[in-house]
């Protein structure tokens, strides 16, 4: 039976409990099984992000760490404004924004007034002993050179310099997954953790050094685009890794936009699992179109979501698709597909009770619509939930202002769901960029 870690309730004082940290990291999203669909009424105490986009969450003890591309945050129910460069933390129970955790992540480029631009945080993972891994695009942390991957202390926002996972120049990390001693990273890099790696790596979670037994060559970006890994999912057993992005081969074998690795043995290997279904061209303005992936809590399946345009059931553009993770051969076909009918899906979270999807979609169950509601389509603006077995939309329909889309969905061990986006209304309430649906 998999060990479950629950975020404990905290005292009313905003930050006293932040000094008491769990000995181990909280579970990653795929570890979290939920028995019910979350409430459609978001909690009232989440902070507001006044600009930019929220792209990532991590729960560390009593604190929620939020990452993205923003410069200013506001405490709910107050006029308190805080300057933050792509990352901040708040007390989950009270909503109080941490004044102690305010690391300054900056880029090397400057705005028109000569100021260094704020850093962008694309991925977060909880670390041990009150730390958080923060990854994205930045070049300095608190004035010191640290490129795009750092382990930060929640007590004071300082950088843990014993972690040596930073990248080479002009590179970034778009996705992270922590599994025990392993920290998986993907993005747009050619070196990380002191070694050459092509867009994908596994680091020692303590030292940050690249694992010599995990080394794959990705090649063949689509549509003349940039080679990259967009998203990584690791099953809870830490035996299989699925990743997606802009590539067409892995170690010379055909793997268009998605691939599976076997990581059971000391040396990681490419799985025989493969599909040609993401080889179809969607809208050529997209270099690649797979956007996110998540494993089910039992590791038996994973779900991929895409952008690309409304081209109907002959492709997997603008869809969510469930795949059988127990297979190990080529020619794989999805168990089910749910189409939006022409709108992007950006994020997915599988909890067992539901498959939550987010983007800027207007509809789900819209197989034959093309920017219109086709037969059977149901309105699910910006966020929705699918039946894990049938793939059909569940009745849960809180709605959100669509904007560019819900960039991140993350299940919580207390039965809730975090939502990060670029818009200001969630569940018919004012929630700027940050929202949390609690257990029902």
pLDDT digits (tens, 9 = 90+) for 367-421: 999 999 999 999 999 999 999 999 999 999 999 999 999 999 999 999 999 999 9
Query: What average pLDDT does this structure show over 145-174?
Result: 95
Residues 6+ apart with CB under 8 A from 210: 192, 193, 194, 195, 197, 201, 202, 203
Looking at 2.130.10, 2.60.40, 1.10.3470, 3.30.70, the CATH number of the domain 26-62+159-437 comes to 2.130.10
pLDDT interval class at 111 (50, 70, 90): confident
The pair phi, psi for residue 128, each rounded to 5°, is: -90, 155
Query: What average pLDDT does this structure show over 171-186?
Result: 96
The pair phi, psi for residue 371, each rounded to 5°, is: 60, 25
Residues 6+ apart with CB under 8 A from 266: 213
Is a pLDDT exceeding 90 seen at residue 13? Answer: no
Instruction: Give the C-alpha distances (Å, rounded to integers) separating 20 from 16, 130, 144.
Output: 8, 8, 28
Helices (H), 222-348: none
pLDDT interval class at 50 (50, 70, 90): very high
**Number of helices and strands (H, E) in the chain?**
0, 39
pLDDT at 23: 32
pLDDT at 29: 58
pLDDT at 284: 84
pLDDT interval class at 310 (50, 70, 90): confident
pTM greater than 0.85 (yes/no): yes
CB atoms within 10 A of CB 110: 11
CA 50 – CA 55 distance, rounded (Å): 14
pLDDT at 57: 98
Retrieve residue 322's tokens. Answer: 């469930």
Specify burial of residue 165 (Cβ count, 10 A radius: 0-12, 13-18, 19+).
Answer: buried
Domain segments of the chain: what residues? 26-62+159-437
pLDDT digits (tens, 9 = 90+) for 203-224: 999 999 999 999 999 999 998 8
pLDDT at 286: 87
């Amino acid at each position: 039976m998999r060990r479950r870690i629950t975020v404990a309730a905290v005292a009313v004082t905003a930050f006293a409990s932040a000094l008491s940290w769990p000995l181990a990291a909280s579970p990653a999203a795929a570890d979290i099984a939920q028995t019910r669909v979350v409430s459609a009424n978001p909690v009232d105490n989440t902070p507001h992000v006044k600009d930019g986009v929220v792209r990532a969450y991590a729960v560390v003890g009593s604190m929620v760490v939020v990452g993205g591309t923003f410069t200013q945050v506001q405490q709910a129910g107050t006029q308190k404004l805080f300057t933050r460069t792509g990352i901040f933390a708040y007390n989950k129970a009270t909503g109080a924004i941490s004044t102690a955790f305010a690391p300054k992540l900056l880029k090397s480029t400057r705005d028109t007034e000569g100021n260094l631009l704020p850093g962008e945080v694309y991925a977060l993972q909880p670390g041990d002993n009150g730390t958080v891994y923060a990854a994205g695009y930045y070049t300095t942390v608190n004035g010191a050179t640290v490129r795009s991957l750092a382990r930060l202390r929640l007590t004071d926002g300082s950088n843990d310099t014993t972690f040596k996972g930073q990248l080479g120049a002009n590179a970034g990390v778009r996705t992270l997954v922590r599994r025990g001693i392993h920290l998986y990273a993907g993005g747009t890099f050619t070196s990380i953790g002191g070694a050459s790696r092509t867009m994908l790596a596994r680091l020692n979670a303590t030292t940050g050094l690249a694992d010599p037994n995990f080394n794959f060559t990705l090649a063949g970006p689509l549509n003349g685009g940039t080679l990259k890994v967009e998203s990584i999912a690791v099953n809870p057993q830490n035996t299989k890794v699925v990743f997606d992005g802009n590539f067409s081969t892995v170690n010379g074998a055909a793997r268009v936009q998605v691939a599976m690795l076997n990581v059971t043995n000391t040396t990681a290997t490419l799985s025989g699992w493969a599909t040609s279904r993401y080889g179809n061209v969607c809208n050529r303005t997209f270099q690649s179109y797979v956007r996110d992936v998540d494993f089910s809590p039992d590791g038996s399946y994973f779900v991929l979501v895409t952008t690309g345009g409304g081209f109907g059931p002959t492709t997997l553009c603008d869809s969510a698709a469930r795949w059988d993770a127990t297979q190990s051969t080529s020619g794989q076909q999805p168990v089910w597909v749910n189409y939006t009918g022409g709108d992007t899906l950006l994020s997915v979270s599988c909890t067992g009770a539901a498959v939550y999807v987010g983007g800027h979609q207007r509809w789900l169950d819209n197989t034959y619509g093309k920017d219109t509601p086709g037969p059977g389509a149901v309105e699910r603006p910006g966020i929705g939930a699918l039946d894990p077995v049938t793939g059909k939309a569940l009745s849960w329909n809180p709605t959100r202002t669509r904007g560019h889309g819900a960039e991140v969905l993350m299940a919580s061990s207390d039965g809730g769901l975090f939502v990060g986006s670029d818009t200001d209304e969630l569940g018919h309430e004012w929630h700027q960029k940050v929202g949390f649906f609690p257990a029902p």
